Chains A and B, each alone.
Chain A
Amino acid sequence: MNAVLSTILKRLGLGIATLFVVSAIIFSSISMLPGDFSEAVLGQAATEETVAAFRKELGLDKPAPIRYFEWVGSVLQGDLGTSFSGRNASGQDRSRQVVDLVMPRLWNTLFLAGVTALIAVPLALFLGLTAALYRNTAYDRVVNAATLTTISTPEFFVAYILILFLASLWPVFPSLANIDATTALGERLYRVALPALTLTLVIVAHMMRMTRAAIINLLASPYIEMARLKGASRSQIILKHALPNAWAPIATVIAFNLAYLVVGVVVVEVVFVYPGIGQLMVDAVTSRDIPVVQACALIFAATYILLNLTADIIGIVTNPRLLHPR
């Protein structure tokens, strides 16, 4: 048990180290973006003195390494900084804390991701297991072909098709998913139905096919033949004898897709005008709002690392060789 705990702690430590490396990459790549915020706000006509003063006020005049360590230091204290937008040359400061900008958006994204995951993960597991159970039957082929179709179609196209059928021709769901902090839970669920459905169609195929492959891969093992010769039925073989040995690869692909739900949904957000973190980041990049861009990028990186870590841990705790060493 202690060996497992120390492995998990090691992975966690590695994850944190990765996050630091990623933060450096984020910072340096954003520094390399052409143009800067002060010029974007003040316009071409601004005098060099005004620009310099404005840059000084934002702290952009300091050398990059110092700015990086200041940023990392304040992030470690839970302070993501202050947004650049809302400032202008007049000296009047209506700027907001990055946390206040990002958190509601992040919450919205997590809500959509959570709803999608609740539909997509059980659905993918169910389809994958049944496809493995009835492999090479008509059912298997239909499921494979259908999921392959949805994964091969661009997601904005899937989104517009769904809008056409479920919002326009048969108006079951709204085509706009605009929610805010005051929207009640039931109403929220109703409004995110179409984006959640779109995302489900996009991610189910990958998870389903991996589940099917992982199970079928195990069906040639001698212990599966043994289970058959002990009189186990097909479903018992798949659920009891194959699935417990297949969790590691399945967890990895689920983690990958869940991470995509957080960091890759900007297209779907744009189509349904959903106020998620993807849109926020795109807007911030356009307006050179560096603190917001950095915060979003850092959140995305942390999401990936955290979900992969979870998949690793599932791989460890479902492997009796690691969990119960000799």
Chain B
Amino acid sequence: MTDPSRPSTTASGDILLKMRDIRIDGYSDEQWHPIIKGVDLTLRRGEIMGLIGESGAGKSTLGKAAMGYTQPGCKLIGGSILFDGIDLAKASDRQKRHLWGTRIAYVAQSAAASFNPAHRLIDQTVEAATRRGIRPDAESRTDAVELFRALQLPDPETIGNRYPHQVSGGQLQRVMTAMAMSPRPDLIIFDEPTTALDVTTQVEVLASMRKIVEEFNTAAIYITHDLAVVAQMADFIQVLRYGEEVEEAPTQQMLTRPEQPYTKSLWSVRALEKPEVKGDDIVLSIDNVDAAYGPLKVLHDVSIKLPRGRTVAVVGESGSGKSTTARVMTGLLPPLSGTVTFNGEVLPAALKDRSKDQLQRIQMIYQMADTAMNPRQTVEDIIGRPLEFYLGLKGKEREERILELLEMIELDETFMDRLPSELSGGQKQRICIARALAARPDVIICDEVTSALDQIVQEGILKLLLRLQQKYNITYLFITHDIATVKAISDEIVVMFEGKVVEQGLKSEILSPPFPDYTKLLLSSVPEMDPDWLTNLLQNRDI
């Protein structure tokens, strides 16, 4: 870390933050166990350090520890945190309070939850600066308007008078950056600030955050699980796993020549790509469907065709009607007009009117495997239920089939008696896949099934799904907002926007020019593993 060959990105370049041998324990299941196991981190003035890792790697805990803060249920048990000469590991609460919000600021993941709903945005923006008397309140307010302007917020003069619920998620995230910047801190901790945003919004927020950090030469720790995002922001990248440092290097070097096998595996996940195959035998289609939730119309004249044994990926931002389309197909939401056709036969619109056989042929897998399983049922009950219900299997036959299914999803018989709470996220999703398979369906609808999983686990699930498709000629409708996943699994792509289908076609057709405007915006907004991607994009777009 104190490698003399390391280039200094700024003229000042002196060390601002020096964390040594940080150890943090967390309390769960009635005992303390280590979350951070002796990590070092050094940050110079004006530098941005990217912290990446999968969930549970401890990156957020380490980021907060850089402020001398540990959340309830965690405790710092060793190490030193030297911030500009002050050891935050030993500092009193009062000392730390005087630094927080003035010299060190924090930008949280969910802006919607992290703004106080009871106060106007401007009041929250200037709160810290005013409290510590950094400058008169009126000046802080004028300054906040300038920050809003610099962050390209609409109506910078008046947006501060709104309440948090009155602005969008992307705007809130930028207001939070303004709030962090208001007292002109030396260091800002960005804790997954764009994870909750749609990809097109993410680009704008990233661009404005980068611009303002550069403008004020603020040092930052940028925490994320998205490699491509961190590549745009950071000068250096540190990879964490299980609370330990895997490796650290300047961004360019880390992207092109990662040294550790773990880092390499993280990089390779994005390279997965299935060769597309055209299909003409349409197994399931919806034609000219309009659908609404009460008075709110969400689907407008949507038609989608699923060729047998192929994967159709539906992409679009939140609110574009992807999941509603799935609900219409399964009969959970009867459409206002239009039809659902399966094997050439028009299905009844509502779930309750469909026959058992029709139900059996279309199965569904959900994003949150946790909530899609009864926490009090064992794996055997969960997989056995569709076997009894659809196929009438009992006793020995049923048990053998469950073992077969477990084998298909690469788990062994020891899982039979486990409860969902005893499984990892990836294992839970595998059980959900086995449950869908148990019915021997023709079509499986996968609704964001990998979104909640870490990248390496995602890769495993995607490979499993592909293998099952080849073996049993299953058709997937794969709903996702992640373009990397789309590339990995799909034959055809449907792009949706505001409840309408923008285009449908083979993967190669959709992902190559000419693009309709929205597809172009969507595709160009997906961050790439190139540190200059954002710069180039902004130049081409002229934001």
Contacts and interface: CB of A to CB of B under 8 A. Distances in A.
A2 interface: no
Given A229-B101, A230-B128, A232-B131, A324 B116 contact: no
Given A231-B132, A320-B163, A321-B165, A245 B100 contact: no
B69 interface: yes
B116 A227 contact: yes
Nearest to B119: A244
Interface in A190-239: 220-223, 225-233, 236
B110 interface: yes
Interface string B157-200: 00000110110000000000001000000000000000000000
A117 B132 CA distance: 38
B110 A222 contact: yes
B506 to A, nearest CB: 41
Nearest to A234: B93
A225 B117 contact: no
Contact of B166 (A232, A241, A318, A326): A326
A324 B118 contact: no
Contacts of A320: 117-118, 163, 165
A134 to B, nearest CB: 14
A74 B344 CA distance: 73
A225 B108 CA distance: 10
Interface string B63-75: 0100101011000
A223 B115 contact: yes
Contacts of B69: 228-229
Contacts of B131: 231-232, 236
A226 B132 contact: no
Interface in A106-139: none
A104 B114 CA distance: 53
B339 interface: no
A43 B138 CA distance: 82
B97 interface: yes
Main secondary structure of the interface of A (DSSP, over half): helix
A229 B106 contact: yes
A240 B330 CA distance: 48
A324 B163 contact: yes
A57 to B, nearest CB: 60
Given A320-B163, A320-B165, A326-B166, A231 B102 contact: yes
Nearest to A321: B165
Contacts of B108: 222, 225-226
A225 to B, nearest CB: 7
Given A222-B108, A222-B113, A231 B101 contact: yes
A209 to B, nearest CB: 22
A46 B67 CA distance: 91
Nearest to B167: A326
Which of A223, A228, A232 has the most CB atoms of chain B within a 10 A radius of its CB?
A: A223
Contacts of B115: 223, 226
A299 to B, nearest CB: 36
A141 to B, nearest CB: 20
A320 B116 CA distance: 10
B116 A245 contact: yes
A225 B71 contact: yes
A324 B119 contact: no
Contacts of A231: 97-102, 128, 131-132
A78 to B, nearest CB: 42
Interface string B101-136: 110011010100111111100000001100110000
Name which of A229, A232, A244, A324 has the most chain B CB atoms within 10 A of its CB.
Answer: A229
Interface in A272-326: 318, 320-321, 324, 326
A231 B117 CA distance: 19
Contacts of A221: 113
Given A222-B108, A326-B165, A229 B67 contact: yes
A272 to B, nearest CB: 42
Contacts of B119: 244
Nearest to A325: B166
A245 B114 contact: no
A221 B69 CA distance: 16
24 contacts: A222-B113, A222-B114, A223-B113, A223-B116, A223-B117, A226-B116, A229-B64, A229-B67, A229-B100, A229-B106, A230-B105, A230-B127, A230-B179, A231-B99, A231-B100, A231-B128, A232-B131, A241-B116, A318-B118, A320-B117, A321-B117, A321-B163, A324-B162, A326-B166
Task: Identify the 6 closest CB pairs spanning chains A and B, nearest first.
Answer: A230-B101, A231-B101, A244-B118, A231-B100, A222-B113, A229-B106
Given A220-B72, A230-B179, 15 more contacts: A221-B113, A222-B113, A222-B114, A225-B108, A225-B114, A229-B64, A229-B69, A229-B101, A230-B101, A230-B106, A230-B128, A231-B97, A231-B128, A320-B117, A321-B117
